[in-house]
Amino acid sequence: MQIQCTPNEQTILQNIALAAEQLGVPCYAIGGFVRDKIIGRTTKDIDIVCLGSGIELAEASAQLFSSKPNVAVYKNFGTAQFKTLDIDVEFVGARKESYRSNSRNPDVEPGTIEDDQNRRDLTINALAISLQEHNFGEIIDPFDGLGDLERKLLRTPLEPSKTFIDDPLRMLRTIRFATQLGYTIQDETFEAIKQNAERIRIISKERITDEINKIIACPKPSIGFDLLFRSGILEYFFPKLVDLAGAEYIDGKGHKDNFYHTIQVVDNICQTTDNIWLRWAALLHDIGKPATKKFEQGLGWTFHGHEWVGAKMVPGIFKDLKLPQHDKMKYVQKLVLLHLRPISLTKENITDSAVRRLLFDAGEDIDDLMLLCSADITSKNQSKVNRFRENFNMVAQRMKEVEESDQLRNWQPPITGEIIMQTFNLPPSKLVGDIKIAVREAILDGIIPNTYEASFEYMIQTAKSLNIEKP
């Protein structure tokens, strides 16, 4: 079987093959590049393994390109890398690995191409292409990875428990590939993941979160989160998400399984946005429900204030998972806090005041908030979904009308603290803040128009009521 490469890929492989011949070392393209070329996925990088020094091969190969790419060398790992023709190329010598039980960092020694393929996580990632002159382009497939690609099956090259015990990150990678490719994990392989789930403890949170972000970036992340949950891995690094699972019944009244509702919401929002942080907001939007769950006679199950509790949980979750602690976290926290607001407007007569306040509080994130709220409409009862959708669309239309009229997106009240202090010769104080808030609330409530003149007059009246006069 021959694979079809782009002209740039063909140039890169031919130059590497020539450099390898000059050095007298056999070399191969291996792993994801081979897999993706066979199944027709776009490739952005090429991994090269050689029976010798990967660093020497990288340096020799770079000299054969007219652009002479800079070679990044990582001596401690025996690897080297350069980018040319918009493709990242990484080089390493073939390795044989052995592991200790308390670490995923192996003891490494030089090995054969067979040794290198044995250490791969999945059969479909153990495929290699020869770059030797006598069999250039021939696929080397010792574990029937080609057959697994046809069957859309994920399994390990060696005994699965040994594969996962040696490097538990491979369990997450297997689940991530199932999500990305839509493939099925072989029963024996999935059972080994379940049996060794606790081993994920030795993996750093940074590595885990990198895999989770790749799952969240997929078109249907629920595949991965369902597998993480059923395998038992999820509880070891994200127990608060696991707490959402299950439905409890009292007096015949039950609530929805909030875990499966949540991952459905994530799937829904993936249809409308590639924004990874908006997808995180979908994943965390109901994270406060377990802490607020209560059964009330006459009402059934309630989750009062779960948006407030959930918003308070977001910084801790981001810190624990080594996610950004600044603007991205605050963005997710804001959406979690506000996610009920648009829906709540469907339950009452919508006033311009309520709409203004939502526009003011959401600011530039109002469109993302509306996407989240739309994705949050889930039910097995289609008529219920249709009714919610109709009400939601009504709110969206009303928001559009108010926004066009009042221009409140990213709005700042026309009266600032500086104006108040200068007008009344006041120092910075709570009193200044009270006057400023009073003017803002009057505009949002529709008491006065959103103009400087009306706001200034209202400021004077408010100050008088507080016994403050202009000097």
The whole-number pLDDT of residue 47 equals 97
pLDDT over threshold 70, residue 104: no
CATH class of this structure's domain 7-151: alpha beta
Q: Percent of the chain, pLDDT > 90?
A: 65
Dist. CA 436–CA 441, nearest whole Å: 9
Tokens coding 160: 């699965």
Dist. CA 362–CA 408, nearest whole Å: 10
Mean pLDDT along residues 23-28: 96
**Contact between 468 and 432 (Cβ < 8 Å):** no
Q: Write down the domain spans for the chain.
A: 7-151, 153-237, 417-465
Dist. CA 314–CA 337, nearest whole Å: 10
**Three-state DSSP state, 91:** strand
pLDDT tens-digit series, residues 119-158: 899 999 999 999 999 999 999 999 999 999 999 999 999 9
pLDDT over threshold 70, residue 470: yes
- Least-confidence region, from 12-26, 65-79, 204-218, 259-273: 65-79
Cα separations in angstroms, 152 against 3, 11, 39, 70, 163: 18, 30, 10, 38, 20
pLDDT tens-digit series, residues 31-42: 999 999 999 999
For the chain, the average pLDDT equals: 90
Cα separations in angstroms, 298 against 251, 295, 301, 302, 384: 11, 9, 9, 11, 21
> Positive or negative CA dihedral for 335, 337, 338, 341?
positive
Mean pLDDT along residues 255-277: 95
The pairing of strands 153-154 and 184-185 is: parallel
Mean pLDDT along residues 171-177: 98
The whole-number pLDDT of residue 232 equals 97
Q: Of all helices (H) and strands (E), which one includes residue 80?
A: strand 79-84
- Which residues have C-beta within 8 Å of that of residue 447, sequence separation ≥ 6? 458
For residue 470, how many other CB atoms are within 10 A of its CB? 9
For residue 384, how many other CB atoms are within 10 A of its CB? 12
Q: Which amino acid is at 21?
A: E
Dist. CA 88–CA 308, nearest whole Å: 45
Q: What burial class does residue 159 get, using C-beta atoms within 10 Å of its C-beta: 0-12 exposed, 13-18 middle, 19+ buried? A: exposed
Dist. CA 330–CA 315, nearest whole Å: 8
pLDDT-derived band of residue 371, with 50, 70 and 90 as boundaries?
Answer: very high
pLDDT-derived band of residue 79, with 50, 70 and 90 as boundaries?
Answer: very high
Mean pLDDT along residues 254-270: 92
Supply the CATH classification number for the domain 153-237.
1.10.110.30
pLDDT-derived band of residue 403, with 50, 70 and 90 as boundaries?
Answer: confident
Does residue 178 or residue 1 have the better pLDDT?
Answer: 178
Dist. CA 368–CA 1, nearest whole Å: 47
Q: What residue has token string 């709110």?
A: 395
- Least-confidence region, from 80-89, 121-130, 381-390, 429-438: 381-390
**Contact between 233 and 197 (Cβ < 8 Å):** yes
DSSP assignment string, 96-130 = EEE--TT-S--EEEE--HHHHHHTSSSGGGS-EEE
Dist. CA 154–CA 190, nearest whole Å: 9
Mean pLDDT along residues 366-389: 83
DSSP assignment string, 250-303 = ETTEE---HHHHHHHHHHHHHTT---HHHHHHHHHTTTTHHHH-EEETTTEEE-
CA atoms within 13 A on the CB side of 333: 18
The whole-number pLDDT of residue 269 equals 97
Closest CA to 91 of 110, 108, 71, 119: 71
pLDDT over threshold 80, residue 102: no
- Which residues have C-beta within 8 Å of that of residue 93, sequence separation ≥ 6? 49, 50, 51, 52, 53, 54, 78, 110
The whole-number pLDDT of residue 345 equals 79
The two domains 7-151 and 153-237 share their CATH topology (first three levels equal): no
Provide the CA 133 distance to its chain's centre, in angstroms.
Answer: 43
The torsion angle over the Cα atoms of residues 302, 307, 311 and 317, rounded to 10 degrees, is 50
Closest CA to 333 of 319, 315, 306: 315
